[in-house]
């Protein structure tokens, strides 16, 4: 039996499991950097679990799940939306479980173009008018990281500026850079410190932007 035939048997097995224990999911496939969830591409049955035996609960700061569904109908970067939440497919590696990431926020990304202000002193920096949207409307995972940044002044009442780990699919043709701005659906803003494009999509380290 060749690998393609074996892979289809694996997906057939996932589909049979989803038929018995899964829920209906709407499937979306972004076609560009400016994403809106209009009419779904399709619907399919899917079950999410943290292990194949359905014997382990998920824990804090762990957005990664295994998705049981017919993988021949999906591709990495697709979104699956059920009554319980939104996931994006991070990977469909050969003969391995389908990797999905749970999304808790919707984010847009902006690039800052530095402008020189006119005045006695002059100003060059980030203003709302200088920010250009490069990706909008992307469900993603935004969870707190393990560290924070100290205020350089180090005053007694200063708190650390929190760091965040942001996971989202790759958008073809869009490369995120250090210092790009992310804004989520709660209005919180983050500055990308370290953008890493992996086989599973974007993994971003960002700091909270203090007003």
> 3-103 with 105-208: one CATH topology?
yes
Q: What is the C-alpha separation between 131 and 113, in angstroms, rounded?
A: 6
* Cα dist from 3 to 6, 9, 76, 77, 91, whole Å: 5, 10, 19, 23, 17
The confidence score (pLDDT) of residue 155 equals 54
pLDDT tens column, 28-76? 999 999 999 999 999 999 999 998 888 888 888 899 999 999 999 999 9
| Model pTM score | 0.87
Q: What is the C-alpha separation between 101 and 152, in angstroms, rounded?
A: 35
Collapsing DSSP states into helix, strand and coil, what is residue 20?
helix
Q: What is the token pair recorded at 41?
A: 């591409």
What is the average per-residue pLDDT within 149-176? 76
Beta bridge partners of 201: 198
DSSP-derived secondary structure letter, 74? -
pLDDT tens column, 110-153? 999 765 555 555 544 555 568 999 999 999 999 998 765 655 55
Tell me phi and psi for residue 48, to 5 degrees.
-105, 140
Domain 3-103 has CATH 2.40.10: yes
CATH number of this structure's domain 105-208: 2.40.10
The confidence score (pLDDT) of residue 51 equals 86
Residue extents of the structural domains in the chain: 3-103, 105-208
The confidence score (pLDDT) of residue 58 equals 87
């Amino acid at each position: 039996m060749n690998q393609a035939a074996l892979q289809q048997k694996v997906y057939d097995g996932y589909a049979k499991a989803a038929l018995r224990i899964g829920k209906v999911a709407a499937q979306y496939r972004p076609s560009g950097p400016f994403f809106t969830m209009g009419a779904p591409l399709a619907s399919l049955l899917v079950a999410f679990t943290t292990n194949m035996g359905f014997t382990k609960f998920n824990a804090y700061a762990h957005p990664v799940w295994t998705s049981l569904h017919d993988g021949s109908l999906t591709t990495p970067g697709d979104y699956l939306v059920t009554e319980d939440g939104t996931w994006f497919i991070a990977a469909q590696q050969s003969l391995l479980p389908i990797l999905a990431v749970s999304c808790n926020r919707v984010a847009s990304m902006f690039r800052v173009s530095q402008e020189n202000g006119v005045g006695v002193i002059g100003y060059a920096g980030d203003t709302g008018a200088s920010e250009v949207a490069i990706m909008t409307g992307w469900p993603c995972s935004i969870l707190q990281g393990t560290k924070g940044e100290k205020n350089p002044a180090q005053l007694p009442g200063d708190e650390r500026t929190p760091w965040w780990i942001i996971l989202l699919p790759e958008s073809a043709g869009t490369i995120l850079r250090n210092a790009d701005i992310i804004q989520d659906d709660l209005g919180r803003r983050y500055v990308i410190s370290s953008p890493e494009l992996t086989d599973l999509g974007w993994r971003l380290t960002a700091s909270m932007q203090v007003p």
